[in-house]
Amino acid sequence: MVDENATGGERELLIMAGSGWVQALDTANGEAAWTVELRSPKPTTPSIGVSDGRVVIATSGQIYCVEYSSGKQLWQRPCLGASSRPTLLVEDGRIYLAGTSRTECFDIDGKQLWAGNAPAVTGYVALATKTSVAQADVGS
């Protein structure tokens, strides 16, 4: 995932994530720019978003924020308490998370702005605003 507004004139990075890790690759040559181990109590395949020079990673019950250019962890906090990967949408300095029964919103610094119960659903949840869409996927 590459966010043109996140680079601030720096090299462009492709952000990828797996169970327990997130890594940035330089798009010019494919070399690893940084790798971060996610110390989640329950590692799951994460959801990721990039905005405002930051990479946001949501896993089962945790949300992380790292610096786009360096991978330096800026903050970590509990979220949703979900048993599976939440759907994540990052836009305009806000972080939206949805699980099967709860939705939460944080600012880019990790402060919770609001939280609410969502209709109980079976399966995965998708999120959308007027300009962005976050589709839930099953993965493998």
Residue 94 lies in a domain: yes
| pTM listed for this prediction | 0.82
Residue 104 lies in a domain: yes
Number of domains in the chain: 1
Mean pLDDT of 31-48: 83
Task: Give the confidence band of 83 by pLDDT, cuts at 50, 70, 90.
Answer: low
Residue 6 lies in a domain: no
Domain range for residue 32? 13-134
Q: Do 89 and 101 contact (CB within 8 A), yes or no?
A: no
Residue 1 lies in a domain: no
Residue 97 lies in a domain: yes
pLDDT at 136: 66
- Torsion over CA: 38, 90, 109, 62 (sign): negative
CATH number, domain with residue 67:
2.40.128.630
Residue 79 lies in a domain: yes
